[in-house]
Amino acid sequence: MIKVLILGGTTEASSLASAFAQLRIPAIFSYAGRVNKPKTQPLPTRIGGFGGAAGLGAFLAQERITHIVDATHPFAAQISRNALAATAQSNVALITLTRPAWRPELNDNWHCVASIEEAVNSLTGQPQRVFLAIGRMHLHAFSTHPQHHYVLRLVDPPDAPPPLAHFTTIIDRGPFTPEGDLALFKGQRIERLVCKNAGGSGASSKLEAARTLGIPVVMIERPTLPSRYHVHSVDEVLAWLHHAPLDGLTSVT
């Protein structure tokens, strides 16, 4: 009897949860508990860390999990490493549902960097209005360049003011729309965009807005992870579970 653990927190994980609920595939959805009100899922949901790879391993045994789908964000590297470690010690099968990285299109003006630190170092120069779409965890790094006015998009209101001299905070969780992001960039007079190469459709609209307005993009590339079996569509996950595809279900690429 299969029982699947979905490691969630992305648009793809939400699509997967809907498919599993429609097909009545026994599954538990898991959030880290990073935001106040995570999106409700149509599956039994647990919220919070497991306590490292060992804690995840204990959870798998306790819940008699047979399969894990790692549908977490490409920058959520630690949980992905834990899932690899926990399943290597057990006979639980693991698949990763990833979305392809974004690629620059003609006329895009991208400066690709390997880390948040490199993104910060690229912001020398005259004061600009910079859209920071990287969440709230790394804002302090940008305090070394106080000349800019930062426009921050966060899921929840910050507990304390960000350590930045000039900033505007926008509370929104996405998925976002091209019209919405274009209006936002125009309204906030954005001159530069800093973001992670999240991939997927849930947050690509800021890139479309930057393209339309000719705004340069500082693109933080994904962390490298050990090679693992990964697919890019819900149907491929269903096939992996030996389940027929759900009619009309679109892929996540």
Q: Which residues in this chain contact ligand 3Y8 in the complex, by CB under 6 A?
A: 9-11, 14, 31-35, 38-39, 73, 133-137, 153-156, 173-176, 195-196, 198, 200, 202-203, 206
Cα→Cα distances 45→30, 50, 51, 193, 217, Å: 6, 13, 17, 34, 36
Question: Among 47-55, 139-147, 216-224, 231-239, which window interacts with ligand NAP (CB under 6 A)?
Answer: 47-55
44 binds ligand NAP per the rule CB under 6 A: no
d(CA 200, CA 251): 11
d(CA 110, CA 133): 15
Question: Among 1-9, 138-146, 162-170, 178-186, which window interacts with ligand NAP (CB under 6 A)?
Answer: 1-9
Q: Which residue shows structure tokens 């993009």?
A: 217
**Shortest CB 242 distance to ligand 3Y8, Å:** 26
200 binds ligand NAP per the rule CB under 6 A: no
Binding mask 63-82 for ligand NAP (x = CB under 6 A): ---------xx-xxxxx--x
Scan residues 158-187 and list those touching ligand NAP (CB under 6 A): none
Q: With CB cut-offs between 5 and 8 Å by kind, which of ligand NAP, ligand 3Y8, none does residue 57 bind? A: none
d(CA 170, CA 228): 36
Q: With CB cut-offs between 5 and 8 Å by kind, which of ligand 3Y8, ligand NAP, none does residue 39 bind? A: ligand 3Y8
Q: Tally Cβ neighbours within 10 Å of residue 138.
A: 17
Cβ neighbors of 95 (< 8 A, separation 6 or more) are 67, 68, 69, 70, 229, 230, 231, 237, 240
